[in-house]
Structure 1
């Protein structure tokens, strides 16, 4: 029999053995920003620090032959600084190619496209788009994708779209009136900075959100549409209903919450909002979607560059009916392949044992953090 792999074992080839143990459920990885399809930080070049197969540095002046450039990490995404930052095609257009149809993201994206297929109604109405899902399931990445698509779609309808990111303009522990005030002031400040206001009336009302939102359409060019990304919400009714009611014409609010949306809260939103909100949802996934995500990333490298995952590697890691998140898989596999790419002695394929040993090391690192 074989014991559960330990963190001290290398990630090189492992002896043939029968797995007899399973690792505990993986913890939530560190939050890089709001959760979801995510990517890792882009690497400055294919080369990393030259190291031996056991992790030791090669001393300078040893006369050894210079090593070939290290392969890139397939889980690194250009433009991102942290391994769990969400994809953002609003800033990096090529991120649209990194989305993988897992955890209901594709269905939700297609639903958004359907709702705004003909955006001409925005001349007369505003809209709230609400994305729900647990932490780490890709809410922020989905919003970024939808906002990017909507901006392009509005351009095709002879409308000028501006995305205004207010996601960092309020905190969860603030009272709802304070959050509303902070968001409204930040929005008016940014519109003033961008010179999108034809008159300062709404800006002068920035301390009175109700008045500012009511007068905002008259302070914009007639073809100007605003796509406003709101801070994540911890409230299920009052704050969200407010934006559903107050969304001025030619303004689309995008909001996200990690809390479930009971039927009575959805009924309140539908009843009190002039136009029913667009409801999108993302969730965790099983080993099949985890494997689909991993293969999508690995397929970006030429065959044979780095070892592939064994057919049952993730099935064995995500077991007992547990659901993983896109952030968890990105955190785990980015770190694993960051180690593999700088090794000289790599396994033929990545097995459950390799993933488990890496997971235990990362867990120890997290436990050692203050």
Structure 2
């Protein structure tokens, strides 16, 4: 008879699932909610160098007590959200060293219409921030008066520290900027507040980072973290990490299979989806994952063909 201990030791359905996300395999890692996921980051798309750059900019986190803005930039699917979540957890832990209980407030999904103007977007974020701060147990009693007194984010945001409980801080995950330069500069320059750190991600950057730095040269600069495109070496590194966590449990991938996987996957998101989906297909078909044959390029082709047959549906 299997007990709870046996269930805890049971390997996942495929090596590409992580704890807490066994049934939602494509979700980005979220260590501020699930600390055990922090150890599942792999150096893909330059993430290790990007993370180290951000940590260097944070220093001892003392400056972030006065507020700050962090922007993670890179192509779609390169792991920006997972990086934002990782940095949010580090900021939370870093502020704790300064005797602040920091809560992570996720506002990434509060905007439904990407065509809103910057003013409309900020107003929406500002109004939705109140209940989320309350839910995170960060608001002091009577803090709602700040929102009653003003209906302008430019007046509310700079006073957010007066609304927070003493000894607390807020790490706010913002929706992706619409107008990148204008939105980043406004948050970093005119909407900053003590004990509030904003984090956001964007697929647009290029020369705009120079413009942003020039606009903020007389203010506290935004921390910009750039990630690069997925490479074949990244694919190999990711697969090696995930398979290495379950030695002898899952079949490996042939060299031809890795090449095919690299060709099929332009991003971390598609890599995770394709690797998980192909292994699921192979293991369910073979029925015996332990010591089974290696996954090869034909398996990835079959998975891709099945997805095309389904009209792009996910496994």
TM range (shorter): 0.7 to 0.9
Q: 1:205 to 1:262 in 2, by over 3 A?
A: farther
Greater radius of gyration (CA): 1
Question: Do the aligned partners of 1:286 and 1:323 also contact (CA within 8 Å) in 2?
Answer: no
Over residues 50-101 of structure 1, what are the superposed CA-to-partner deviations in whole Å (9 max), with x where a residue is unaligned?
xxxxxxxxxxxxxxxxxxx997311112222422111111111111111101
Q: 1:206 to 1:113 in 2, by over 3 A?
A: farther
For 1:36-47, list aligned pairs within 5 A: none
The residue that corresponds to 2:169 in the other structure is: 225
- Which aligned segments of 4 or more residues in structure 1 are displaced greater than 6 angstroms? none
Secondary structure, in 3 states, of the residue corresponding to 1:253? strand
2:224 matched to 1:282?
Answer: no
| Structure 1: unaligned runs, 5 residues or longer | 1-44, 47-68
Question: Of the candidates 211, 230, 241, which is equivalent to residue 268 of structure 1?
Answer: 211
The residue that corresponds to 1:251 in the other structure is: 196
Question: Of the candidates 292, 297, 314, which is equivalent to residue 352 of structure 1?
Answer: 297
Give distance in 2, aligned partners of 1:234 and 1:291: 35
Over residues 132-190 of structure 1, what are the superposed CA-to-partner deviations in whole Å (9 max), with x where a residue is unaligned?
11111111100111111211121122222111111111131322221111101111232
Pick 1 or 2: higher relative contact order, CA cutoff 8 A, min separation 6: 1
Normalised TM-score (structure 1): 0.74
Shift of 1:345: 6.5
Give distance in 1, aligned partners of 2:242 and 2:308: 23
Secondary structure, in 3 states, of the residue corresponding to 1:309? coil
2:55 matched to 1:113?
Answer: yes
For 1:8-47, list aligned pairs within 5 A: none
Secondary structure, in 3 states, of the residue corresponding to 2:170? strand
Give distance in 2, aligned partners of 1:313 and 1:196: 52
- RMSD of aligned Cα (Å): 2.5
Normalised TM-score (structure 2): 0.86
Question: Of the candidates 229, 239, 244, which is equivalent to residue 299 of structure 1?
Answer: 244
Question: Of the candidates 228, 232, 240, which is equivalent to residue 184 of structure 2?
Answer: 240
Secondary structure, in 3 states, of the residue corresponding to 2:171? strand
Give distance in 2, aligned partners of 1:205 and 1:180: 17
Secondary structure, in 3 states, of the residue corresponding to 2:48? helix
Secondary structure, in 3 states, of the residue corresponding to 1:255? strand
Shift of 1:199: 4.2
Give distance in 1, aligned partners of 2:313 and 2:130: 43
For 1:174-253, list aligned pairs within 5 A: 174-193=116-135, 194=137, 196-200=139-143, 201-205=145-149, 207-245=151-189, 246-253=191-198
Q: 1:195 to 1:228 in 2, by over 3 A?
A: closer
Question: Of the candidates 125, 149, 169, which is equivalent to residue 90 of structure 2?
Answer: 149
Secondary structure, in 3 states, of the residue corresponding to 1:232? coil
Over residues 15-46 of structure 1, what are the superposed CA-to-partner deviations in whole Å (9 max), with x where a residue is unaligned?
xxxxxxxxxxxxxxxxxxxxxxxxxxxxxx69
Question: Do the aligned partners of 2:265 and 2:271 also contact (CA within 8 Å) in 1?
Answer: no
Secondary structure, in 3 states, of the residue corresponding to 1:289? helix
| Structure 2: unaligned runs, 5 residues or longer | 1-6
Question: Do the aligned partners of 2:282 and 2:295 also contact (CA within 8 Å) in 1?
Answer: no
Shift of 1:272: 3.0
Indicate the structure with greater helix content.
Answer: 2
